[in-house]
Structure 1
Amino acid sequence: MIDHLRIHVVWASGSLEGARVAEMISRHFDGIGMERDGVAYRVPVRFASAPWLPDSPLPKPVDLSRADHNAVVLLHDDFMDEQASVWDQYVQSTRAAMETRGAADVYIPFCDYGGSAIPASDRERNTQYVYRTGWKGLDQLARDKRLLLHVLVQIRRHLRKLSGDDRDEPLFVSHAKADGDTIAREIVAYVQSPDHDVPLHTFYDAMELNPGEDFKARFDAEISRGTLIAIVSDVYDSRPWCIFELTTAKRHRRPIVLADIGGVRVSRTYPYGANLPRVRLDPTGSAGSWIDPLLVETMSEGLRCDIFQAQAAKVVAADSEVTVMPRPPELFDVIDADLCPRVILYPDPPLGDLEARLVTRAMAALRSDSQLKTLGEYQA
């Protein structure tokens, strides 16, 4: 079977840090999707490190043929630099193989914490590396989250570019001024700090607007192509603009993550903030200790949505009577639609009986031949 996306982690045999980071990447992408009973959709991660031939330190060539798109993550360090010339040949051949596939694949190279020299061929190409020398003050967990965030952002940016959208995707931070503004400001300031080397573009609030601009239209435009973090404070669900932002993101089927900072009591729960990943946020430590993990969860949800939408698009082709949902559907998705679709298609695993019954009854009231199917059921 051809995967939509595979990640290949390349490092020099003997590098314990390279092996540890590769395992960390594999664990993360093993559980990136919708989960039930411990089983989730996974992005396959393959390792290239163990020597392939007796007289060479190089691993087996990266197999790019098993996926529509590949992300090659190079972990360059002193172990690789000790045999620079042969590893440079490996890098050259890998990149040449990627180029024969057009723009399908993406190369994401990292340099180690000591700033070891990068391969000569990459220097000649003026290849930008992620230099981890600036991460020395971070603990291991923070370094791991920063690396994952780089990988996630570059893969999503590459897939978006292939779809014809070369713009930066905004990270829309939805919040209530009354009790979520401090957290939202801290997230935006951290992402925009010169010390944060991940290229993310944030959209915060009306301060981003130009005088005279239609703020509702601008918010809709930013949310419709962005990823939304909802800072769910005690009053968030009771604020009309927060509900507008969350509903707009759902209507455009954009990635959404709920960051729960609730303190005492929620006076009203907005009923259509359901079927979304929720992260419990504890912003009492250093900014990096809670913001980067939140960003990793958010970009992971974004990648999951990207992959599912792409997989579903290949299956349904141009069938206008199929609505593809990147998350389990709910009553909002049925009632809010201009026309009830013949099929609502959503990710596995299937909805439980109670939820499915509610949605199918709502669909049947609008269209007698409507169906609710997971992608697996639709393909079968």
Structure 2
Amino acid sequence: MSVLRLTVIWHGNFAGGGPIAEALAAHFEGAEDEPNSSGLTIPVRVRCKGADPSDSLSAPLPLMTGDDTINIVLLLFEGNLVTAFEKHWSSFANSIRAELDAHPDRTLVLPMRLGDRSAIAPFDDIQSIPTSLFLGSGLSDPRWMRRLTLTIVAHIGNYLRRLEQFEKDPATPIDETLLSRFPLFLSHAKTDALAVVNAIRDHLANNNYGVDTFIDAKDLPAGLGYEKMFTAAIRAGAVVAIRSDAYSSRPWCRWETLEGKRLLRPIVVLDLFRDAELRMNPYGGNVPALRLVDPSVSGENAQAEMDRAVLAIMTEAVRIMVWNRRVMSLEAAARAKYPGRDIRKLPRPPELVDIANIRIETASPIVVLHPGPPLPRPEEKMIRAIGGDLELCAPSDLGVPL
């Protein structure tokens, strides 16, 4: 199992390094059983001081590396770190660059420019993150910090997608792999959600996150069938279900949510509910959801609202990619504990829809591997009532730490 780790590096004289690292840790390290947690459980480490307390010029401890570690390294470049990398921290900087050059399949370096300088050796040939594109006025502005977090999440997601492609086709080096943009399938009812759809599309126009939107009326070529093209778009990306008053009354909207669950794709609900609906969508649960302020009435906060929504979507996409890597370590343990059973892996705690999809494909005895914690007894009882011969298995049931 690969361990994914985020390390934030800054110079101790830069007062902004601590708040940035704390904000990222709050987002990436949350436990799956905590309310409002992202569920990423990615440890955040820091390097901001020399390893020798008696020597003010000593370099930090080297990064932890190894075959089972994927290092995401965020470099907070302002004047102090630039000077340190040029002088007394140069060996530390060179060791990071050497690890990147030797093992791009387990190292991603993200230089972030917090000043005017853009070329910083030994990372002057690597694309950096310009904070000039961030919303807000700086570190003390929640909008600025949210944009920073969103940017890091998106770049980690793009890296994991390239890593997946490299593992399928090692003939093309990971640092030479180009991917198409990650499509966000905007599932919506045109009668009362079109303004929000257009706002999301406009917000993401020319973005540097590596994401795109798929809207049926604008992106489906004439002459092609809805179902097959929608399935292709959903399989490649994530489903964003915009829950307006009319959403649940639309058969295609309900199908799009179901298709996202059948394909085990990231799904996030943006709640634009205003008044009433005759029948709440029964397939829209068991996924992250957040209340979205209508951009047509949110005024100057519209951009911040869009960032908040996109951060939730990209976080769920990264969570599933991380889970898919972690769950590989569970399969051997599950096969040993439950010999002779089919193994089915779910990126969310199982629900009745998941079991129905599995049983459409097979009647064999199965083990369902899913993120923890184990299901509460009432949920488990219902799933066992329709699931036939199955075992539900969270990581804690196998004694495997994730």
The TM-score normalised by the length of structure 2 is 0.85
Q: Aligned residue for 1:222?
A: 233
Report whether the alignment pairs 1:314 with 2:329.
yes
The answer to whether the Cα contact below 8 Å between 1:170 and 1:201 also exists between their aligned partners in 2 is yes
Partner Cα distance (1:163, 1:134) in 2: 29
Q: Aligned residue for 2:385?
A: 361
Aligned match for 1:339, one of 350, 353, 362? 362
Matches within 5 A, 1:15-164: 15-31=14-30, 33-35=32-34, 42-53=41-52, 54-56=55-57, 58-65=59-66, 67-86=68-87, 87-112=89-114, 114-123=115-124, 126-135=125-134, 138=137, 140-164=141-165
Aligned match for 2:283, one of 258, 272, 275? 272
> Structure 1 pair 71/37, CA: closer, same or farther in 2 (3 Å)?
closer
Measured after TM superposition, the shift of residue 379 of structure 1 is 4.6
Higher deviation after alignment, 302-311 or 314-323? 314-323
Letter in 1 for 2:394: T
Partner Cα distance (2:183, 2:192) in 1: 23
Measured after TM superposition, the shift of residue 260 of structure 1 is 0.6
Partner Cα distance (2:267, 2:302) in 1: 21
Measured after TM superposition, the shift of residue 92 of structure 1 is 2.3
The answer to whether the Cα contact below 8 Å between 1:3 and 1:67 also exists between their aligned partners in 2 is yes
Partner Cα distance (2:107, 2:122) in 1: 18
The answer to whether the Cα contact below 8 Å between 2:3 and 2:68 also exists between their aligned partners in 1 is yes
Partner Cα distance (1:83, 1:63) in 2: 21
Measured after TM superposition, the shift of residue 88 of structure 1 is 4.7
For residues 95-136 of structure 1, give each alpha carbon's deviation from its aligned partner in whole angstroms, at most 9, with x where no partner exists. Answer: 212333341121111101x3234312222xx21101112337
Report whether the alignment pairs 1:290 with 2:315.
no
Letter in 2 for 1:129: S
The answer to whether the Cα contact below 8 Å between 1:49 and 1:59 also exists between their aligned partners in 2 is yes
For residues 327-380 of structure 1, give each alpha carbon's deviation from its aligned partner in whole angstroms, at most 9, with x where no partner exists. Answer: 11111112222114511111101111111100011112xx3xx21121221456
Q: Percent identity?
A: 28
Q: Aligned residue for 2:338?
A: none
Partner Cα distance (1:241, 1:272) in 2: 12
Q: Aligned residue for 1:183?
A: 196
The answer to whether the Cα contact below 8 Å between 1:175 and 1:232 also exists between their aligned partners in 2 is yes
Partner Cα distance (2:21, 2:293) in 1: 28
Equivalent position SS for 1:93: helix
Partner Cα distance (2:33, 2:230) in 1: 28
Total equivalences in the alignment: 370
The answer to whether the Cα contact below 8 Å between 1:173 and 1:203 also exists between their aligned partners in 2 is yes
Equivalent position SS for 1:253: coil
Measured after TM superposition, the shift of residue 89 of structure 1 is 4.1
For residues 235-288 of structure 1, give each alpha carbon's deviation from its aligned partner in whole angstroms, at most 9, with x where no partner exists. Answer: 111111111111110000111111111111122112121211111112324322
Q: Aligned residue for 2:170?
A: none
5+ long unaligned stretches in structure 1: none
Q: Aligned residue for 1:376?
A: 396
The answer to whether the Cα contact below 8 Å between 2:40 and 2:322 also exists between their aligned partners in 1 is no
Measured after TM superposition, the shift of residue 152 of structure 1 is 1.1
The answer to whether the Cα contact below 8 Å between 1:36 and 1:349 also exists between their aligned partners in 2 is no
Equivalent position SS for 1:63: coil
The answer to whether the Cα contact below 8 Å between 1:8 and 1:73 also exists between their aligned partners in 2 is yes
For residues 194-218 of structure 1, give each alpha carbon's deviation from its aligned partner in whole angstroms, at most 9, with x where no partner exists. Answer: 4x44332221223112222223211
> Structure 1 pair 270/251, CA: closer, same or farther in 2 (3 Å)?
same
> Structure 1 pair 38/278, CA: closer, same or farther in 2 (3 Å)?
closer
5+ long unaligned stretches in structure 2: 167-178, 336-340
